[in-house]
Amino acid sequence: MRCAIFLLGLLALAGCARTSPPRAQTQTSSSALPVAHATPPAPTTAAQPPTQPKVEPVRPAVVDEKFTWELPGGALKWIETSRAVAHKLSVVMKAPPGSLVSIAVVLQPDLETAKQDLMMGMDPKKKLASAKLTDKADLEADVPAGQAYAIILRNHRDEAVTLDLSLKAP
């Protein structure tokens, strides 16, 4: 008897029309995919054109280096460097008056040959710029992009010499 009354109550409830709006349901399942609802924001001011950030051109670092080197008698010294862009390299070398110093700017693949040439007292065969047996030199060399290069110095006297070397490139 109790079962019959219970079933009658369920049937009565099942036939009733819903009078309240459906409740919002939340899913707690981890397999549920999030749903994004995009509603455009209400315009608060007049429409403004989109602005783009100011883009600065890529500029390679400016070369402006100064060195003071001590070259023992008969010694050979060099520095290797490179830049990603083609540039005109300005090299200024100053030694005490009466010094006999040779200087050359060469590409890195030609460095060993150029060192041997300078040790024999010759001007390097493959060079971008050079000066031989001087106490002052002002060289300009056009260096190709992405190529490593070297500046080589050799003291041709038996006495040590202190010299100033300046490298500049825009």
**pLDDT per position as a tens digit, 87-110:** 899 999 999 999 999 999 999 999
List of residues 6+ apart from 92 with CB closer than 8 A? 137, 138, 139, 164, 165, 166, 168
Across 1-5, 30-34, 103-107, the highest mean pLDDT is recorded for: 103-107
CA 61 to chain CA centroid, nearest Å:
9
Residue that the structure tokens 């300009």 belong to: 140
pLDDT confidence bin for 83, thresholds 50/70/90: confident
User: What is the predicted pLDDT for the residue at 63?
Assistant: 79
pLDDT confidence bin for 50, thresholds 50/70/90: low
User: What is the predicted pLDDT for the residue at 71?
Assistant: 93
87 close to 170: Cβ distance less than 8 angstroms: yes
DSSP 164: E
pLDDT confidence bin for 46, thresholds 50/70/90: low
pLDDT confidence bin for 117, thresholds 50/70/90: very high
pLDDT confidence bin for 27, thresholds 50/70/90: very low
Q: Under DSSP, is residue 1 helix (H, G, I), strand (E, B) or coil?
A: coil
| Amino acid at site 22 | P
pLDDT over threshold 90, residue 116: yes
Task: List the domain boundaries for the chain.
Answer: 63-94+107-153
pLDDT over threshold 50, residue 86: yes
Cβ-based neighbour number of residue 155 at 10 Å: 23
pLDDT confidence bin for 48, thresholds 50/70/90: low
Question: From CA 111, how far away is CA 78, in angstroms rounded?
Answer: 9
φ/ψ (deg, to 5) at 2: -60, -35
φ/ψ (deg, to 5) at 86: -65, 140
List of residues 6+ apart from 154 with CB closer than 8 A? 71, 74, 75, 76, 77, 101, 102, 103, 118, 119
